[in-house]
Amino acid sequence: MALADELKALREFRCEEGKCVLSVYLNTDRADSEQQKGEWKIRLKNGLKRHEEYLEASENKDQLKSFRKLRKKVENEVNGNQSQLQKSVVIFASDVDDLWSVHYMQLPVETSFHWDEAPVLDQLTKLQQDFPKSGIVLPNMDEVKILETDLGEIQDTRIYSFDPDTGNWNYKQGMGAEDKIMSGATHTDKYDQRFQENLNRFYKDMAGNIERMKQDRNWEALYLVGEADPVNTLESQLRVPVDKSVKKNLNNVDTSKVLEHVFN
């Protein structure tokens, strides 16, 4: 389940008999000058060790036993999935109700560890304010891809392909968040010429779809990503503001790289 969808349940989660929730915010951003050599490994180990030492000193055997179990689970999760690391990892874990929420995020966080009666959500609340539900549109010659994001995570992907016989945009099934954005252009020079001549009209129809999605799906921000000509043409047809345009062809990169260019 997407982290944005879990937030409501996490806000309501609370232990009735003392501290039982481990909240982990771990910065793994390799672009950070302090992360060039995998320093997150040391911070993860030391942060969890420090909390375990506090519990040992408190002589609360039940909490110590629970914490040690969760610590091992968290360390195994992160160390075993290093290939998935992006800019941060956020984890909420508890023996109560088997709470286990893990998210590898494209947004940076400040490394911190918490052992409390409830999940510590301050950083996520701030991130949701800064990175609300948004639409990222990648216009191409005969395809337009739309990524819906919340908290920097992809919630949905929609692909519209242009049918030269009918002059309409047709929706086709999207792809996974980790898939590459691949161009499907296999058209002829004659088709290219027809599309270029009618670009404004074709994109006007697509602009209407985007405007409806923005309203129906409550997007608070809209981004365009692609080569200058299709981005500029589509933006000129939109009757809603564009928050940011990235004039770069990202059709053959992982979607995580698209998010990186948009949110950096």
Mean pLDDT across 25-53: 89
Measured distance CA(100)–CA(91) in Å, rounded: 7
What lies within 8 Å, CB to CB, of 261 at 6+ separation is: 225, 246, 248, 250
Say yes or no: 116 and 214 in one domain. no
Could you tell me if 119 and 7 lie in one domain?
yes
Q: Are residues 223 and 162 in the same domain?
A: yes
Using 50, 70 and 90 to split pLDDT, how confident is the model at 197?
Answer: low
In this prediction, residue 1 has a pLDDT band, given cuts at 50, 70 and 90, of low
Among residues 100, 129, 158, which one ends one of the domains? 129
pLDDT higher than 80, residue 194 = no
pLDDT above 50: residue 62 = yes
Asked whether residue 120 falls in the same domain as residue 199, the answer is no
Mean pLDDT, rounded, of the chain: 87
**Which domain-ending residue is among 69, 103, 129?**
129
Domain count, the chain: 2
Domain encompassing residue 192? 131-263
Q: What CATH number is associated with residue 220?
A: 3.30.420.60
Residues 121, 165, single domain; the answer is no
Same domain, 136 and 118: no
DSSP E strands, the chain: 21-27, 88-94, 99-105, 112-116, 134-139, 143-150, 153-163, 168-172, 221-226, 244-247
**What average pLDDT does the segment 228-236 reach?**
92
Band (126; pLDDT cuts 50, 70, 90): very high
Q: Looking at mean pLDDT, say which of 24-28, 184-188, 253-257 comes out highest.
A: 24-28
Average pLDDT over every residue of 1-11: 84
| Same domain? 106 vs 142 | no
Question: Is the same domain home to 82 and 93?
Answer: yes
Residue that terminates a domain, selected from 90, 111, 129 = 129
Question: Which CATH number is 119's domain given?
Answer: 3.30.960.10
Which pLDDT band holds residue 110 (cuts at 50, 70, 90)? very high
Regarding whether 155 and 210 lie in a shared domain, the answer is yes
Same-domain check for residues 60 and 108: yes
142 lies in the same domain as 123: no
Whole-angstrom distance, CA of residue 10 vs CA of residue 20: 13
Task: Find the helix or strand (DSSP H, E) in which 77 lies.
Answer: helix 61-79
Same domain, 61 and 124: yes
